[in-house]
């Protein structure tokens, strides 16, 4: 099984490299078959090779590379790449019917997300990255902060957003940080509705590359996280970081912290000095906003236990207990 | 209408010789037996099936397959009607239909290929909707082919970061390559044909509410589909490169717009010159070079083609090669279209002859019937002769009120139905309108997995079918 998987990854890598090479030789600016990071696309291809109902998709996509390769004006280059194309095609056609059998283990996911594999997850040169998703009022933010302090690593929440704004040369007043629990007083008010002149709209269009600004912020956040993951250990709160890092094949630990609604409401009444009714209303609105945000950018369900390595009911352990629990698991498996 | 349904069914099923033999009364039309439509059906079937089952083989032997089906039509046609008649039919179709068609396509392909949009504008549902809307509105003023060639590469480029993008190109074909061209005679060749038959130039602007109706519905559906695909792409970790603050958009080769205008002017001239006395003989025929078999290569047609070819030549001479490289400009797309369409034009002749013979006797006398009849046949046949046949049919109904043309007076509702049927339903198949296949070929060359022939048909049935049904119920009842 492991051997098969290695071969498939190698084959997928060759396909990706061929696409890259064809694109480079053509010098075209119109795009390619496998856009995106190598790791992510290789993983997709391996999935296509093993998932039979989708097997034809890969064949069609390889054919598209062939289409492009055939248009290369330089004869020698065309012949070189077509030879590689033919070799790949033969190898793909020779694939056995199924490589997937037996275990429920998703090896791709397991290498990133399964706590059972935690010990082998962080290899040489990988940094310890802990992604914490949490509901408001569950003390998740406090747990994340205390954990970073205990592990003596950096803690990031809205700092990421500020950095992204700097990159985009945007003003804080213009964009709402939808990933954080900030702006909780203005949940029904969108910054977008503010009247703007045509000139301002045009400037905004230019600044965000024609994208909706929330999406531009998200894409920049993804880039920033990727860069940070190359240079330091850290705890990151929310921002779909778990999925962003999974997509970029960056090892990390994902944790979701929740607590019973009643307890969260009681905590919010204290911390935000709200009535019980208003605290419940705020929690419901924030949960809805976060669910929507997470689902929009990841296609996954926020808080669904299958998406995380570890889900903690903070009410069972408290802030200190939760930190100790996480620390124990990390130390046990990563031998820090 | 029943007769029309029988006619279409017989046409589509003509690949079954038994049926043709059994269809008494519809067996011949001016010496054309129904079974001669088999090569057309055979060629369409090859275009539909071979790219799926034997793509490499198809690519290698495409021209031979086209030649085979053309001969399968021409040889029996020659045997039943004489070799001279067969040669004349082939020559007539190549000189008068295929040549202007491919030269126009070639000119626009060259000129548009020399304009490139550089920059890091990222394709998102919002941008895509805006571009599709812009292209749709542009189609009527530079032609559906011109707008398609101009817009296809920027759209592909902006969406190059995405994985799920075939729907963008499908809706591109629906809107820019077809529906958008209904407002002026420049938009689509059938309307130009109407213009040269006396329909006022700006008459088609009356179709604006229809175009708006269709465009709004399709853009809403597109936005929903695109948003879904966009979210899936983001969820899968795809992202555009927007690392630099601010967008730098630069259009290179912008001077080629002059050549584009030249081509549009040539198209308009081809519609207006034949009506001028200076270009007519004493007998009222259009001046031209008479080829063997009496086939006439008209002077306006030569003028049109010359202007287009000069525009294409100048475009190449004045544009840096790096622009074409950036655009991934290759001859592959135009080559494929040129090869396939020469066969399509030749093999569709029996179907067109049948249509000319039986068109008027199909008993179509309401706008709705004309809309569906023109549309259904325009989906597979050349929409210009189809338009002409049904315009003639409508004019022959002896109406006294409506638009006065050289063919007779046609009520506005009927003219709208014929025009919309011919223009809109060209979107139903890849071969329904010239730019459809070009957009498919360019997309295929640039990493977009386009639907197969039948796959595309399914898309059009699913998304265009209901819209056309609404058109028929609201506008042509």
Whether residues B120 and A209 touch (CB distance < 8 A) is answered with yes
Select from B139, B176, B182, B141 the least CA-distant residue to B416: B182
As beta bridge partners, residue B297 has B289
How far is Cα A87 from Cα A294, in angstroms, rounded to an integer? Answer: 42
How far is Cα B195 from Cα B184, in angstroms, rounded to an integer? Answer: 9
For residues B279 and B300, the answer to whether their CB atoms sit within 8 Å is yes
Select from A143, A184, A141 the least CA-distant residue to A273: A184
The answer to the question of residue B262 being in a domain is yes
Hey, is the C-beta of B50 within 8 angstroms of any chain A C-beta?
Answer: no
Range of the domain at B373: 36-237+251-475
How far is Cα B227 from Cα A177, in angstroms, rounded to an integer? Answer: 21
How far is Cα A217 from Cα A173, in angstroms, rounded to an integer? Answer: 14
**How far off is chain A from B51, nearest CA to CA, in Å?**
10
Specify the pLDDT at position A296: 92
- The Cα-based distances of B72 to B22, B90, B336, B464 in angstroms read 21, 13, 21, 34
Select from B253, B324, B265 the least CA-distant residue to B300: B265
The beta-carbon neighbor of B245 closest among A207, A244, A296 is A207
Hey, is the C-beta of A304 within 8 angstroms of any chain B C-beta?
Answer: no
Hey, is the C-beta of B284 within 8 angstroms of any chain A C-beta?
Answer: no
Which pairing describes strands B28-29 and B32-33: parallel, antiparallel, or unpaired? antiparallel
Token pair belonging to A235: 């705890």
Q: What is the pLDDT along chain A (336 residues), one digit of tens a residue?
A: 555 778 888 888 899 899 888 888 888 767 678 877 788 888 878 877 776 555 566 776 777 788 788 788 888 888 898 888 888 878 877 776 433 333 444 555 555 554 445 656 666 677 889 999 999 999 898 898 889 888 888 888 877 767 777 776 666 666 666 666 655 555 444 445 456 677 877 777 887 888 888 888 888 888 888 888 888 888 998 889 999 998 888 889 999 999 999 999 998 888 888 899 999 999 999 999 999 999 999 999 999 998 898 999 998 888 889 999 999 888 876 655
Question: Choosing among B152, B231, B239, which should be mutated to test the A contact, i.e. which has the most A CBs within 10 A?
Answer: B239
Alpha helices in A169-232 (DSSP H): 198-207, 213-231
The residue in chain B having the minimum alpha-carbon distance to the alpha carbon of residue A31 is B160
Contacts of A94 (CB under 8 A, 6+ apart): none
Alpha helices in B348-452 (DSSP H): 349-358, 367-378, 383-395, 412-424, 434-445
Report the length, in residues, of chain A.
336
Select from B435, B463, B461, B364 the least CA-distant residue to B8: B364
Contacts of B95 (CB under 8 A, 6+ apart): B291, B295, B297
Specify the pLDDT at position B313: 96
The answer to the question of residue B51 being in a domain is yes
**Three-state SS for A301?**
coil
For residues A133 and A257, the answer to whether their CB atoms sit within 8 Å is yes
Q: Which chain B residues are within 8 Å of A85, Cβ to Cβ?
A: none
Whether residues B242 and A205 touch (CB distance < 8 A) is answered with no
How far is Cα B366 from Cα B98, in angstroms, rounded to an integer? Answer: 32
User: HSE (CB half, 13 Å, CA atoms) of B332?
Assistant: 21
For residues A333 and A118, the answer to whether their CB atoms sit within 8 Å is yes
Cα angle, residue A240 at apex, residues A179 and A235 outer, rounded to 5°: 90
**How far off is chain A from B452, nearest CA to CA, in Å?**
11
Whether residues B153 and A167 touch (CB distance < 8 A) is answered with no
Hey, is the C-beta of A102 within 8 angstroms of any chain B C-beta?
Answer: no
Hey, is the C-beta of A171 within 8 angstroms of any chain B C-beta?
Answer: no
**How far off is chain A from B344, nearest CA to CA, in Å?**
23
Q: What is the pLDDT along chain B (477 residues), one digit of tens a residue?
A: 555 555 555 555 444 333 333 344 444 555 678 889 999 999 989 988 888 888 888 988 999 999 999 999 999 999 988 888 899 989 988 998 889 889 988 998 899 889 987 777 889 999 999 999 999 999 998 889 889 988 998 899 899 999 999 999 999 999 999 999 999 988 888 898 888 788 898 899 999 999 999 999 999 999 999 999 999 999 988 888 887 777 777 889 999 999 999 998 998 898 889 888 888 888 888 888 888 878 889 999 999 999 999 999 999 999 999 999 888 888 888 898 899 989 998 998 888 888 878 777 777 888 999 999 999 999 988 788 888 888 888 887 878 888 888 888 899 999 999 999 999 999 999 988 889 988 999 998 888 989 999 999 999 999 999 999 999 999 998
Token pair belonging to B2: 């029943």
How far is Cα B345 from Cα B352, in angstroms, rounded to an integer? Answer: 10
First to last CA, chain B: 14
Hey, is the C-beta of A307 within 8 angstroms of any chain B C-beta?
Answer: no
Hey, is the C-beta of B129 within 8 angstroms of any chain A C-beta?
Answer: no
Contacts of B472 (CB under 8 A, 6+ apart): B368, B371, B372
Q: Which of residues 134-193 of B touch A (CB under 8 A)?
A: 153, 156-163
Q: Which chain B residues are within 8 Å of A22, Cβ to Cβ?
A: none
Q: Where are the domains of chain A?
A: 2-93, 109-333
Question: Choosing among A210, A225, A304, which should be mutated to test the B contact, i.e. which has the most B CBs within 10 A?
Answer: A210
The answer to the question of residue B202 being in a domain is yes
Q: State phi, psi for A211 to the nearest 5 degrees.
A: -90, 155
Whether residues B242 and A208 touch (CB distance < 8 A) is answered with yes
The residue in chain B having the minimum alpha-carbon distance to the alpha carbon of residue A39 is B237
As beta bridge partners, residue B410 has B403
The residue in chain A having the minimum alpha-carbon distance to the alpha carbon of residue B53 is A60
Whether residues B242 and A209 touch (CB distance < 8 A) is answered with yes
Specify the pLDDT at position A100: 36
Hey, is the C-beta of A30 within 8 angstroms of any chain B C-beta?
Answer: yes
Positive/negative CA dihedral, B331, B332, B337, B338:
positive
Q: How many CB pairs under 8 A join A and B?
A: 141
**How far off is chain B from A205, nearest CA to CA, in Å?**
8
Q: State phi, psi for B317 to the nearest 5 degrees.
A: -70, -30
Whether residues B246 and A206 touch (CB distance < 8 A) is answered with yes
Specify the pLDDT at position A110: 55
In the block, tokens 């638009």 appear at B403
How far is Cα B320 from Cα B74, in angstroms, rounded to an integer? Answer: 44
What is the gyration radius of the CA atoms in chain A, in angstroms?
Answer: 23
Whether residues A32 and B160 touch (CB distance < 8 A) is answered with yes
Specify the pLDDT at position A179: 67
Which pairing describes strands A253-258 and B408-410: parallel, antiparallel, or unpaired? unpaired
Domain A109-333 has CATH 3.30.450.20: no
How far is Cα A62 from Cα B468, in angstroms, rounded to an integer? Answer: 36
The answer to the question of residue B421 being in a domain is yes
Whether residues B124 and A29 touch (CB distance < 8 A) is answered with no
Hey, is the C-beta of A47 within 8 angstroms of any chain B C-beta?
Answer: no
How far is Cα B328 from Cα B332, in angstroms, rounded to an integer? Answer: 11
The beta-carbon neighbor of B245 closest among A57, A167, A298 is A167
First to last CA, chain A: 31
How far is Cα B180 from Cα A323, in angstroms, rounded to an integer? Answer: 62
Question: Is A66 buried (19+), middle (13-18) or exposed (0-12) by CB count in 10 A?
Answer: buried
Whether residues B246 and A169 touch (CB distance < 8 A) is answered with yes
Residue A69 CA, chain-centre distance (Å), reads 32
Which pairing describes strands B403-405 and B32-33: parallel, antiparallel, or unpaired? unpaired
Q: Which chain A residues are within 8 Å of B116, Cβ to Cβ?
A: 29
Residue B87 CA, chain-centre distance (Å), reads 26
Q: How many other β-carbons are positioned within 10 Å of the β-carbon of residue B118?
A: 15
Q: Which of residues 288-347 of B touch A (CB under 8 A)?
A: 325-328, 330, 332
Q: How many other β-carbons are positioned within 10 Å of the β-carbon of residue A251?
A: 21
**How far off is chain B from A141, nearest CA to CA, in Å?**
25
**How far off is chain B from A210, nearest CA to CA, in Å?**
6
Positive/negative CA dihedral, B217, B223, B229, B232:
negative
**How far off is chain A from B282, nearest CA to CA, in Å?**
51
How far is Cα A269 from Cα B71, in angstroms, rounded to an integer? Answer: 85
Contacts of B5 (CB under 8 A, 6+ apart): none
The residue in chain B having the minimum alpha-carbon distance to the alpha carbon of residue A69 is B445
Whether residues B446 and A60 touch (CB distance < 8 A) is answered with no
Question: Choosing among A19, A21, A26, A31, which should be mutated to test the B contact, i.e. which has the most B CBs within 10 A?
Answer: A31
Whether residues A31 and B159 touch (CB distance < 8 A) is answered with yes
Hey, is the C-beta of A201 within 8 angstroms of any chain B C-beta?
Answer: no
Q: How many other β-carbons are positioned within 10 Å of the β-carbon of residue A30?
A: 27
| 3-state DSSP helix/strand/coil % of chain A, to nearest 5 | 65, 5, 30
Report the length, in residues, of chain B.
477
Select from A17, A7, A27, A10 the least CA-distant residue to A80: A17
Hey, is the C-beta of B126 within 8 angstroms of any chain A C-beta?
Answer: yes
Q: How many other β-carbons are positioned within 10 Å of the β-carbon of residue B81?
A: 16
Which pairing describes strands B403-405 and A253-258: parallel, antiparallel, or unpaired? unpaired
For residues A83 and A46, the answer to whether their CB atoms sit within 8 Å is no
Hey, is the C-beta of A172 within 8 angstroms of any chain B C-beta?
Answer: no
The answer to the question of residue B245 being in a domain is no
Hey, is the C-beta of B243 within 8 angstroms of any chain A C-beta?
Answer: yes
Select from B451, B453, B474, B476 the least CA-distant residue to B375: B476
Specify the pLDDT at position A148: 86
For residues B370 and B403, the answer to whether their CB atoms sit within 8 Å is no
Whether residues A220 and B330 touch (CB distance < 8 A) is answered with no
Q: Which chain A residues are within 8 Å of B134, Cβ to Cβ?
A: none
In the block, tokens 């709209």 appear at A201
Per the structure, how many domains does chain B have? 1
List, in sequence order, every beta strand (DSSP E) within A104-195: 129-134, 154-156
Cα angle, residue B236 at apex, residues B230 and B241 outer, rounded to 5°: 70
In the block, tokens 């509702």 appear at B413
ipTM: 0.71
Q: State phi, psi for B122 to the nearest 5 degrees.
A: -100, 135
Hey, is the C-beta of A292 within 8 angstroms of any chain B C-beta?
Answer: no
Token pair belonging to B238: 């795809």
For residues B359 and B389, the answer to whether their CB atoms sit within 8 Å is yes
Specify the pLDDT at position B314: 96
User: HSE (CB half, 13 Å, CA atoms) of B421?
Assistant: 31
Q: Which of residues 96-125 of B touch A (CB under 8 A)?
A: 116, 118, 120-122, 124
Q: Which chain A residues are within 8 Å of B232, Cβ to Cβ?
A: 299
Hey, is the C-beta of A60 within 8 angstroms of any chain B C-beta?
Answer: yes
Whether residues A209 and B238 touch (CB distance < 8 A) is answered with no
């Amino acid at each position: 099984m492991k051997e098969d998987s290695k071969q498939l990854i190698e084959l997928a890598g060759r396909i990706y490299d061929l696409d890259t090479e064809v694109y480079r030789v053509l010098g075209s600016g119109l795009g390619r078959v496998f856009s995106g990071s190598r790791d992510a696309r290789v993983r997709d291809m391996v999935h296509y090779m093993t998932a039979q109902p989708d097997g034809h998709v890969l064949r069609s996509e390889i054919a598209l590379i062939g289409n492009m390769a055939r248009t290369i004006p330089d004869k020698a280059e065309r012949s070189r790449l077509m030879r590689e194309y033919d070799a790949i095609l033969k190898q793909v056609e020779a694939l056995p019917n199924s490589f997937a059998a037996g275990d429920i283990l998703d090896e791709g996911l397991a290498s990133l997300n399964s706590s059972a594999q935690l010990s082998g997850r962080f290899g040489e040169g990988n940094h310890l990255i802990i992604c914490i998703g949490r509901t408001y009022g569950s003390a998740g933010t406090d747990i994340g902060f205390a954990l970073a302090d205990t592990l003596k690593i950096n803690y990031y929440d809205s700092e990421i957003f500020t950095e992204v704004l700097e990159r985009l040369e945007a003003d804080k007043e213009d964009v709402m940080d939808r990933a954080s629990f900030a702006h909780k007083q203005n949940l029904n008010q969108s910054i977008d509705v503010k009247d703007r002149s045509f000139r301002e709209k045009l400037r905004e269009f230019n600044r965000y590359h024609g994208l909706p600004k929330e999406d531009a912020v998200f894409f920049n956040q993804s880039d920033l996280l990727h860069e940070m993951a190359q240079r330091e250990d850290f705890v990151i709160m929310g921002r779909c970081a778990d999925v962003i890092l999974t997509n970029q094949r960056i090892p990390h630990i994902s944790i979701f912290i929740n607590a019973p609604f009643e307890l969260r409401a009681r905590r919010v009444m204290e911390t935000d000095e709200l009535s019980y009714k208003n605290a419940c209303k705020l929690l419901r609105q924030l949960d809805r906003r976060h669910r929507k945000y997470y689902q929009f950018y990841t296609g996954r369900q926020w808080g669904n236990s299958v998406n995380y390595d570890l889900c903690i009911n903070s009410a069972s352990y408290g802030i200190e207990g939760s930190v100790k629990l996480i620390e124990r698991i990390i130390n046990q498996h990563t031998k820090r | 209408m029943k007769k029309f349904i029988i006619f279409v069914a017989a046409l589509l099923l003509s690949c079954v010789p038994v049926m043709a033999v059994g269809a008494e009364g519809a067996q011949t039309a001016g010496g054309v037996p129904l079974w001669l439509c088999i090569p057309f059906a055979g060629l369409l079937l090859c275009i539909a099936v071979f790219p799926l089952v034997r793509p490499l083989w198809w690519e290698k032997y495409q021209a031979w397959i086209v030649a085979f089906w053309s001969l399968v039509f021409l040889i029996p046609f020659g045997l039943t009607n004489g070799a001279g008649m067969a040669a004349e039919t082939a020559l007539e179709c190549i000189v008068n239909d295929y040549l202007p068609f491919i030269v126009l396509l070639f000119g626009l392909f060259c000129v548009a290929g020399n304009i490139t949009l550089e920059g890091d504008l990222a394709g998102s549902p919002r941008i895509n909707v805006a571009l599709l809307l812009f292209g749709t509105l542009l189609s009527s003023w530079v032609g559906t082919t011109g707008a398609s060639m101009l817009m296809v590469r920027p759209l592909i480029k902006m969406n190059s970061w995405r994985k799920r993008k075939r729907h963008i190109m499908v809706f591109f074909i629906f809107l820019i390559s077809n529906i958008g061209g209904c407002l002026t005679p420049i938009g689509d060749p059938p309307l130009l044909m109407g213009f040269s038959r006396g329909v006022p130039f700006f008459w088609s602007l009356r179709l604006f509410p229809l175009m708006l109706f269709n465009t709004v519905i399709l853009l809403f559906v597109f936005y929903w589909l695109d948003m879904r695909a966009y979210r899936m792409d983001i969820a899968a970790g795809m992202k555009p490169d927007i690392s630099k603050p601010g967008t730098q958009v630069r259009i290179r080769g912008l001077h080629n717009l002059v050549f584009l205008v030249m081509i549009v002017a040539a198209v308009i001239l081809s519609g207006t010159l034949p009506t001028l006395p200076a270009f007519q003989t004493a007998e009222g025929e259009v001046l031209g070079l008479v080829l063997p078999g009496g086939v006439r290569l008209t002077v306006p047609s030569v003028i049109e083609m010359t202007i287009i070819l000069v525009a294409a030549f100048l475009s190449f001479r004045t544009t840096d090669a790096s622009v074409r490289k950036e655009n991934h400009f290759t001859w592959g797309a135009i080559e494929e279209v040129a090869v396939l369409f020469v066969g399509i034009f030749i093999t569709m002749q029996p179907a067109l002859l049948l249509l000319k013979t039986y068109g008027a006797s199909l008993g179509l006398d309401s706008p709705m019937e004309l809309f569906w009849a023109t549309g259904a046949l325009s989906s597979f046949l050349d929409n210009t002769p189809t338009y002409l046949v049904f315009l003639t049919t409508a004019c022959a109904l002896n109406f006294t009120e409506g638009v006065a043309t050289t063919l007779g007076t046609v009520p506005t509702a009927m003219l709208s139905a014929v025009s919309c049927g011919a223009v809109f339903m060209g979107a139903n198949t890849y071969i329904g309108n010239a730019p459809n296949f070009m957009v498919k070929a360019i997309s295929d060359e640039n990493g977009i997995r386009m639907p197969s022939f039948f796959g595309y048909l399914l898309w059009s049935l699913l998304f265009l079918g209901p819209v056309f049904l609404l058109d028929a119920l609201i506008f042509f009842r």
